[in-house]
Amino acid sequence: MDLPNQLRVSLEREVRGHDGAALAREAARLSAQYRGEAAATVAPHPVTALAYAVTRMPATFAATAAALNALASGLPEFAPRTLLDVGAGTGAALWAATGGWPSLETAALLEHDPLMRALGQRLAAAGAGAVAKARWLPADLRGPWQAPSHDLVTAAYVLGELSAAAQTALVARLWTLTDGALVLVEPGTPQGWATIRAAREQLRAAGAFIVAPCPHGELCPLPADPSADWCHFAQRITRTKAHRAAKGAKLGYEDEKYAYTAVARSPGNPVGARVLRHPVTRPGRVELQLCTGDGLCRRLVTRSERERWRVAHALQWGDGMALGALGSQVSEL
């Protein structure tokens, strides 16, 4: 996946004129902060927002775009006209949603950090339609804030920054503001998945229809302890020149691991089964770990199965498939 061209150009323009060494130092500090090795900045600085936009926004854009693609596949008739994104940062979800749905006409973005908002707004000015016209609004998601309901509501990489009680309150609030679909995205860590799993259960109890990634709307069959096993996926994103420079990175891409849930007011067409891990390929056989409507299962497909072999061989981690595409012989995990 690539960043939208207008966003990439706009980011490069922002980086020009900045001290590359200071940006690299701030990028390193942000990485350490995300790994829990450094304290959060006490007084945020414009270079913090720029380091975030250059080094993290491409990955959060890619993860959010992948989650929204899964929603679009499971809800093909959905053509949202209005978007509400909370904890918007520098606007990753705005770019991801408008890339997926040209039907979007207006977007409201809530973000409490004025430096993130200002940078996001400057980046979005290079976009078209709903991106350029988006309204960037100050709001503390822990306090009282007002917003009308929207067709599509998103919260990407923000729940994890709130206390457990604030997460529960925010998920409930977001669902009341959702006319069509709600998508929550978090890092693909055990902690990120625990946050998504709790939100999924909360939304299920509130009557939401699960559209993706799950092939069912039942209780998640994975163990409750996320350190034992957790549901997450990976999305590859091309690194920009500025990103490689700021991180001193040699590879031209990175793989962002993420967890998500996409729910809706109306039932969608969830996949029949989803591949939960990298398929294990050996000569003449592919082994798949799947989540299905009947729970978790392992499916071994051999070359002699011809058509199923062709299907299985093309499948990748995170892919969905129709029920029965691999036959019904499965073993429970």
Chain residues binding ligand SAM by CB under 6 A are 57, 60, 64, 87-89, 92-93, 111-113, 116, 139-142, 156-158, 161
Residue number with the smallest Cβ distance to ligand SAM:
89
Q: How far is the CB of 57 from ligand SAM (least distance, A)?
A: 5
In this structure, is the dihedral angle defined by the CA atoms of residues 272, 210, 189 and 56, taken in order, positive or negative? positive
Q: Using an 8 Å Cβ cutoff, are 147 and 171 in contact?
A: no
Q: Which of 103, 100, 75, 76 is nearest to 1 (CA)?
A: 100
Q: Among residues 80 and 89, whose Cβ is nearest to ligand SAM?
A: 89
Distance, CA of 295 to CA of 63 (rounded, Å): 25
The residues, ordered by sequence, that sit 6+ positions from 294 with a Cβ below 8 Å of its Cβ are none
Q: Among residues 7 and 139, whose Cβ is nearest to ligand SAM?
A: 139
Q: How far is the CB of 117 from ligand SAM (least distance, A)?
A: 8
Q: Among residues 82 and 154, whose Cβ is nearest to ligand SAM?
A: 154
Q: How far is the CB of 169 from ligand SAM (least distance, A)?
A: 11
The residues, ordered by sequence, that sit 6+ positions from 27 with a Cβ below 8 Å of its Cβ are 51, 54, 55, 246, 247
Distance, CA of 267 to CA of 208 (rounded, Å): 9
Q: Among residues 178 and 292, whose Cβ is nearest to ligand SAM?
A: 178
Q: How far is the CB of 120 from ligand SAM (least distance, A)?
A: 9
Distance, CA of 67 to CA of 45 (rounded, Å): 31
Q: In a 3-state reduction of DSSP, which class is residue 70?
A: helix
Give the residue ranges of DSSP H helices in the chain: 5-15, 20-34, 46-55, 57-74, 92-100, 114-124, 129-133, 164-176, 190-205, 241-247, 307-314
Angle at 241 between CA 58 and CA 254, to 5 degrees: 45
Q: How far is the CB of 185 from ligand SAM (least distance, A)?
A: 7
Q: How far is the CB of 225 from ligand SAM (least distance, A)?
A: 25
Q: Among residues 110 and 301, whose Cβ is nearest to ligand SAM?
A: 110
Q: Using an 8 Å Cβ cutoff, are 121 and 150 in contact?
A: no
Q: Among residues 75 and 139, whose Cβ is nearest to ligand SAM?
A: 139
Q: Among residues 147 and 300, whose Cβ is nearest to ligand SAM?
A: 147
Q: How far is the CB of 204 from ligand SAM (least distance, A)?
A: 24
Distance, CA of 69 to CA of 212 (rounded, Å): 10
Distance, CA of 199 to CA of 237 (rounded, Å): 27
Q: Report the chain's terminal Cα–Cα distance, integer Å.
A: 32
- DSSP annotation of 125 reads T
Q: Among residues 99 and 215, whose Cβ is nearest to ligand SAM?
A: 99
Q: Among residues 71 and 276, whose Cβ is nearest to ligand SAM?
A: 71
Q: How far is the CB of 66 from ligand SAM (least distance, A)?
A: 12
Q: How far is the CB of 107 from ligand SAM (least distance, A)?
A: 13
